[in-house]
Amino acid sequence: MLRADQPLALYMAGAFANRTGKMGLGVLRYSPNPVAAIIAPEHAGEASLSLPGVTRDVPVVSSIAEAVSLGAKVLVLGIAPPGGEIPPEWRPILIEAVQIGLSIVNGLHEPLALRYPPAKEGQWVWDVRQEPLGLQPGTGAARNLPNKRLLTIGTDMAVGKMTAGLELWRTLRQRGTNAAFVATGQIGITITGAGVPLDAVRVDFAAGAIEKEVMRYAESEVVIVEGQGSIIHPGSTSTLPLIRGSVPTHFLLVHRAGMETLPRIPWVKVPPLREVIRLCEDTASACNVFDRPSTIGVALNCAHLSDAEAEDAVRRVSDETGLPCADPVRHGCHVFLKGIVPQT
């Protein structure tokens, strides 16, 4: 549906400089599509280079019309409001976008294709969070694959599991490794054009949906599976189907530097990282029903820290866990390679 040559406009009003705009930030960092403009009226006149980990210079504008004048053909909703519902103040923007001829990429739970039908030939609305057809319960089939399967696990939601996975995938491919990436959320699916929107899949078929997607990449040497949620988060149900569907051989733990409690649920204290790793490995092993995965390192989200603070945080986490540690965006993922592929 979305072609890699179609220029995008990212709607990030009120979220240009904070983590509620993670859809837009992910697309800016990793999408193969050209990005014509970012729509964020409160930052009009600025540029995307002020955002962490962004290397392309995209102008920030105040309106749909300005974005279209710069060549935009597709509007991407670049914000993930709590609950995944469309805020009322977005309705006029969506109507204007459809009327002016833009296609829409919608990564939220609320579907838009029927509410805002295309007005022109070739125009479309892509509701990314739709359950795939033909799903079956999981069977553990991935355990028989000869390749390596790495799942990113985290200490919280929205902590950087997709980013770590994409950075590791990119590093492996640069090294010449035949690696695949299984997207499991709306951002990864938008970037790669494939995957499973796990939080839109009925729980009975969740493991089977992941299994089906992982089995597509049986010929790949390494399969990176994008993690979702956290096993210690009381609102998360995604870790187990990801583990059972992919039957991982390896984990990469993702953590936000200095995070001692969950920001939105502060009564939940983050256990020592070695304990989180052991819990995930124990769960994956299921009393040796499955082979126990090994954890290759800790990807540390240091976006809120200075370079010097990030270096110090990485050293402390590496000392605490005895594992390689790096901020994937700042430092890259080369430090993790020896844990999953032979060194040359």
**Res. 20 pLDDT band, cuts 50 70 90:** low
Residue ranges covered by each domain of the chain: 8-127, 141-339
* Residue 142 clears pLDDT 90, i.e. is over it: yes
For residues 141 and 245, give the distance between their C-alpha atoms in angstroms, rounded to a whole number: 8
Q: Which residues contact 227 (CB under 8 A, 6 or more apart)?
A: 151, 152, 153, 154, 161, 162, 165, 184, 238, 239, 242, 254
Stronger pLDDT, 20 or 233, i.e. the higher one:
233
Regarding pTM above 0.85, the answer is yes
For the ranges 114-123, 124-133, 174-183, which has the lowest average pLDDT?
114-123
Q: Which residues contact 130 (CB under 8 A, 6 or more apart)?
A: 111, 197, 200
SS3 326: strand
Same fold, 8-127 and 141-339: yes
Reported as half-sphere exposure (CB side, CA atoms, 13 A), residue 172 has a value of 26
Taking residues 284-300, report their average pLDDT.
Answer: 98
Of the options 3.40.640.10, 3.20.20.210, 3.60.20.10, 3.40.50.720, the CATH number for the domain spanning 8-127 = 3.40.50.720
Q: Tell me what the pLDDT averaged over the chain comes to.
A: 95
Q: Where does 141-339 sit in CATH, by number?
A: 3.40.50.300
Report CA 332 to chain centroid distance, whole Å: 17
SS3 63: coil
* Residue 321 clears pLDDT 70, i.e. is over it: yes
**Residue 19: what pLDDT?**
58
Residue ranges of alpha helices (H) inside the chain are 22-30, 64-69, 91-100, 161-175, 186-192, 203-215, 239-246, 273-285, 307-321, 328-331
Pairing of strands 265-269, 261-262: antiparallel
**Res. 18 pLDDT band, cuts 50 70 90:** low
- Label residues 259-297 b or e (16+ Cβ within 10 Å = b): eeebeeeeebebeebeebbeebbebbeeeeebeebebbb
Burial degree of 218 (CB within 10 A; 0-12, 13-18, 19+): middle
**Residue 342: what pLDDT?**
78
- What pLDDT digit, counting tens, does each position of 237-247 carry? 999 999 999 99
- What pLDDT digit, counting tens, does each position of 181-228 carry? 999 999 999 999 999 999 999 999 999 999 999 999 999 999 999 999
**Res. 85 pLDDT band, cuts 50 70 90:** confident
Q: What are phi and psi of 103, to 5 degrees?
A: -80, 165
